[in-house]
């Protein structure tokens, strides 16, 4: 992929910056990042080709300008670090790294879990108290949490989502208990730190990644225990119908990344408002062909429609992670 200094994503700019620094400084920086950040920037580094001197000058100039702006008198070091990281990685990915660097929230045991396979994590925590499981899943990235949850017994899943949604910070004693568990499992050592994790938004983010066949069952279990809380979780979830709130440029970017077959299947279960938005953001000919495909498509299984919608949502979240589109949930300005 040839670099275009005017269209570089945050990850690509970070990749060019680190490649300009050299192997040793770049390695030192990566050591402070989590697995998702390392993968994202590593992928960008591997895919960059034919980086021109102009691209490098643009990125370095942007970085130096940022340094000059943020290190003037009256600007603290914390503000500087926050600004640099957000510029390089984007708000969503930078937050976790900011927490670990500035807020002292790093727990070695929890961070180690982020590098493990979800099935292995599930095996490790399945016999622990549900509150401990909820704290662990709150700390992981939503997609990893959702997959880990899928490997836990069905009877536990609704209870854990409820506990995640009602978490309001974690006391040092609770984190100490968690550290002791992880020490037994991973031989890791960590000092207890207070941390604000969990909450309704965290629960909704995890639910976004749960397989359709499990999502209904889990939410029904939550509703039976606390209907109001279940409704709050659903309001914050980003579902297929929420794509109607994505701006036109975002829809056009998304359409370039998905197949016509998946789109036809997904739209079989969509409201007219979303269909119209999709049609408006296609060429006249492409929209006509899509309408014809929808009209001639015979009956399809609900599971196939839900699967196609989940696939498109997965692409949308990837684009949002890369800073290419902005997703807004039904309940507000959730950035995914």
The predicted pLDDT at position 12 comes to: 81
pLDDT for residue 30: 74
Q: Which residues pair with 195 in a beta bridge?
A: 170
For the chain, 336 residues long, give each residue's pLDDT as a single digit of tens: 444 555 677 778 888 887 777 777 777 777 777 777 777 777 777 777 777 767 777 777 777 666 655 544 444 555 655 666 666 666 665 655 555 454 434 445 666 677 778 888 888 888 888 888 888 888 888 888 888 999 998 888 999 999 888 887 776 666 666 766 666 666 543 333 344 556 787 888 788 777 766 777 888 888 888 888 888 887 777 778 888 888 899 999 999 998 888 899 999 878 889 999 999 999 999 899 999 988 888 888 888 888 888 888 888 878 887 788 887 543 333 333
Question: According to the model, what pLDDT value does residue 183 have?
Answer: 64
Q: Which CATH number applies to 108-236?
A: 1.10.220.30
pLDDT on residue 186? 64
pLDDT of residue 333: 39
Would you list the domain boundaries of the chain? 10-102, 108-236, 240-321
Q: Which CATH number fits domain 240-321: 3.40.50.1100, 1.10.220.30, 1.10.10.10, 1.20.140.10?
A: 1.10.220.30
Q: 108-236 and 240-321 share one CATH topology?
A: yes
- pLDDT of res. 281: 92
């Amino acid at each position: 992929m040839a670099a275009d200094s005017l269209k570089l994503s945050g990850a690509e700019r970070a990749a060019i910056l680190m490649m300009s620094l050299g192997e040793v400084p770049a390695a030192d920086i990566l050591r402070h990042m989590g697995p998702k950040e390392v993968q994202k920037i590593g992928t960008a580094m591997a895919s960059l080709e034919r980086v021109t001197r102009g691209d490098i000058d643009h990125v370095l100039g942007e970085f130096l300008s940022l340094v000059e702006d943020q290190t003037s008198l009256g600007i603290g070091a914390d503000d500087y670090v926050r600004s640099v990281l957000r510029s390089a990685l984007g708000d969503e990915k930078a937050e976790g790294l900011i927490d670990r660097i500035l807020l002292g929230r790093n727990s070695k045991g929890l961070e180690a879990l982020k590098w493990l396979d979800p099935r292995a994590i599930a095996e490790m925590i399945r016999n622990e108290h549900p509150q401990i499981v909820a704290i662990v899943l709150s700390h992981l990235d939503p997609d990893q949490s959702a997959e880990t949850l899928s490997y836990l017994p069905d009877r536990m899943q609704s209870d854990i989502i409820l506990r995640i949604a009602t978490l309001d910070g974690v006391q040092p004693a609770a984190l100490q208990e968690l550290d002791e568990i992880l020490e037994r499992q991973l031989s890791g050592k960590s000092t207890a730190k207070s941390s604000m994790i969990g909450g309704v938004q965290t629960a909704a983010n995890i639910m976004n990644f749960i397989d359709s066949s499990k999502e209904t069952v889990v939410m029904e279990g939550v509703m039976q225990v606390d209907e109001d809380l279940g409704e709050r979780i659903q309001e914050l979830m980003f579902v297929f119908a929420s794509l109607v709130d994505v701006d036109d440029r975002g829809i056009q970017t998304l359409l370039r990344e998905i197949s016509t077959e998946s789109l036809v299947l997904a739209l079989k279960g969509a409201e007219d408002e979303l269909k119209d938005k999709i049609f408006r953001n296609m060429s006249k000919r492409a929209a006509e062909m899509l309408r014809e495909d929808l009209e001639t498509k015979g009956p399809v299984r609900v599971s196939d429609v839900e699967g196609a919608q989940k696939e498109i949502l997965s692409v949308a979240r990837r684009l949002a992670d890369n800073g290419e589109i902005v997703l807004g949930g039904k309940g507000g300005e959730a950035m995914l």
